[in-house]
Amino acid sequence: MVATRSRLVSFTRTNEVRTVARCTRKALPETGSDPVVTAFYFVEANMRILVVWDNDAEADLIGMYLGVDGSEITLAVGADGLNPILAQNLEFDLALLAINLPTVEMGYEVFQRLRNDLSEIPVIGACMPQEVVRVVRFMTNGMSAYVIRDTAGDYLFMLQAMAEQTVDAVRAAREQKLAQKLREEVESVRKLQASVIPKNIDAPPGYSVHGRYEPSQIRVLGGQPVTMAGGDYYDIFMLPDNNMVLLVGDASGHGMKAAMSIMTMHTLVRMIRSQSYRDTAHFVTEINRQLCEQSIVSEEGGFITLLYAILNPETGELRWTSAGHPPPLLQNMDTGEVMPLAGKDCGGLPLAITEYAEYETYVSALPPHVRLVLFTDGLEEAFPEGTKQSHSQYGIDGISETLRNYATEPASDALTALFDDSNAFTQGAGRHDDTSVVLLERRVSVLANGSARDGFASGRCETADFPRRFENGIV
């Protein structure tokens, strides 16, 4: 057993200890009498370095040079000195290996053991000048770098910088790999989410309807933008009685959890939409009850806002319910006027907060020559980088201005403009939240026989009665 010795390295200023590193050289259990295994332990280690060397004196010197910054150095002298270290399953950030232990062939065997047992750490090789050509075999099989052991020992001054650069390079490569894996996983979930967004929307006679969803973007390790799997969702479909359902939803947060929350709600909507839920409040109440039983949505305070509406195409009657979601906007296409169907305090709690939440059904009239806009808050809350104040947001004013500017243009162009203008408002930063918009346009009246005629002769949008509370939605 090799005796233990300690040394205290400190730098003091006016009796105040600035940095302290305690270095202890102690023997590890040996498997035989020849190998000498020592370890230097430093408080608050910067790096954990394993040094496998061919002579004791130089190994101690290397331990001092590498340990000057507070790194934890473990020394194994001789090929057999590695055995007790590997047996302890210690963790290291880097290995420094003399490739002649004492021969290059034995050094290569040790290198292979390091690659097998400590496969995640980089290895720096050290060779004599006449052995440089032998390093090629090591480098082609995974060695990260090598240094030449000159007879003057000048290479010792390079070791610390080389160790730091090698560890930093390996960490950067791992981060890049992790970032790429994250991008791939997020892209898979995003594609799954995109698959539930309606592609081909058939509008009733006299109507046109368009929807669009755009996820937010973030920057992850590696600096590349990632299109995030998001928590926004919209759907448009016809009921058996020829009424049309329009809905938009927004799950709290971003990423995987938000996307899976929305997928859960989409599944529930599709499962129960064929049931007799013509009352929108009753439908939302049932969705909320079932979502409260889904931990993937409610855990960690998660919730979903939802606006669910049913349109009677013949009469233009719109029945709708909000669960913590912004009310729709209605635009008179002749005057350009834009107004919300209700105040922001309309509706009930977001979904998945409590199964006892109560919701109400509102009824609004949609005469000819109007546009109805359902949206998530990603559109309204678009803002330039560094400013989150409400007065710096795109807001309802921005949405209304865009709608007025495109009142005489096709509805599809107006929808595109909402995304373009809100994105331009961010001054290049991009919208920081997912954004979904559904835009419905009613151009003509629909007769009982299913035909359409222009029914807006007066040039005014008759909306004096909306919004009006129709009934309590708890049935």
Q: Are residues 311 and 449 both part of a single domain? A: yes
Whether the per-residue pLDDT at 454 is higher than 70: the answer is no
Q: Are residues 98 and 242 both part of a single domain? A: no
User: Look-up: residue for tokens 């993937």?
Assistant: 296
**Arithmetic mean of pLDDT, 191-196:** 75
pLDDT at 459: 27
Closest CA to 351 of 260, 261, 288: 288
Tokens standing for residue 291:
């979502």
pLDDT band for 1, please (50, 70, 90 cuts): very low
Q: Return d(Cα 253, Cα 188) in angstroms, integer.
A: 18
Q: Are residues 124 and 268 both part of a single domain? A: no
| Domains in the chain, number | 2
pLDDT at 276: 57
Q: Are residues 21 and 94 both part of a single domain? A: yes
**Arithmetic mean of pLDDT, 434-444:** 91
Of 125 and 470, more confident = 125
Of 173, 207, 239, the residue at which a domain comes to its end is 173
Across the strands, what pairs with 154? none
Tokens standing for residue 88:
């302890």
**411 is a domain residue:** yes
**182 is a domain residue:** no
**91 is a domain residue:** yes
Q: Are residues 129 and 250 both part of a single domain? A: no
pLDDT at 207: 96
Q: Return d(Cα 375, Cα 445) in angstroms, integer.
A: 25
**Arithmetic mean of pLDDT, 16-34:** 38
Closest CA to 293 of 356, 231, 359, 355: 355
**Arithmetic mean of pLDDT, 432-448:** 81
Q: What CATH number does the domain containing 35 carry?
A: 3.40.50.2300
Whether the per-residue pLDDT at 233 is higher than 70: the answer is yes
pLDDT at 17: 25
* Three-state SS at 76: strand
Q: Are residues 295 and 226 both part of a single domain? A: yes
pLDDT digits (tens, 9 = 90+) for 130-188: 999 999 999 999 999 999 999 899 999 999 999 999 999 988 888 888 888 877 777 77
Tokens standing for residue 241:
């009685």
**168 is a domain residue:** yes
Which residues constitute the domain of residue 244?
196-472
Q: Return d(Cα 221, Cα 119) in angstroms, integer.
A: 23
pLDDT at 334: 92
Of 36 and 427, more confident = 427
Q: What CATH number does the domain containing 358 carry?
A: 3.60.40.10
pLDDT at 14: 27
**184 is a domain residue:** no
**185 is a domain residue:** no
CA-derived radius of gyration, the chain: 34
- Find the distance separating the first CA and the last CA of the chain, reported in whole Å: 83
Rounded to 5 degrees, what are φ and ψ at 391?
-70, -10
Q: Are residues 123 and 203 both part of a single domain? A: no
Average pLDDT, the chain: 80
Q: Are residues 357 and 214 both part of a single domain? A: yes
Of 470 and 384, more confident = 384
pLDDT at 452: 53
Whether the per-residue pLDDT at 282 is higher than 50: the answer is yes
Q: Are residues 230 and 363 both part of a single domain? A: yes
**Residues above pLDDT 90, as percent of the chain:** 48
Q: Return d(Cα 176, Cα 178) in angstroms, integer.
A: 5
pLDDT at 375: 96
**221 is a domain residue:** yes
**179 is a domain residue:** no
Q: Are residues 84 and 139 both part of a single domain? A: yes
pLDDT digits (tens, 9 = 90+) for 354-376: 999 999 999 999 999 999 999 99
pLDDT digits (tens, 9 = 90+) for 91-103: 999 999 999 988 9
**Arithmetic mean of pLDDT, 224-249:** 82
pLDDT at 175: 87
**Arithmetic mean of pLDDT, 275-297:** 86
pLDDT at 413: 97
Q: Are residues 214 and 335 both part of a single domain? A: yes
Q: In what order do the strands lie in the sheet with 468-472?
A: 232-238, 244-251, 304-312, 317-323, 360-365, 468-472
Q: Are residues 240 and 115 both part of a single domain? A: no
pLDDT band for 198, please (50, 70, 90 cuts): confident
pLDDT digits (tens, 9 = 90+) for 108-122: 999 999 999 998 899
- What secondary structure does DSSP assign to 23-69, as a single string? EEEEEPP-SSSS-EEEEEE-TT-S-EEEEEES-HHHHHHHHHHHGGG
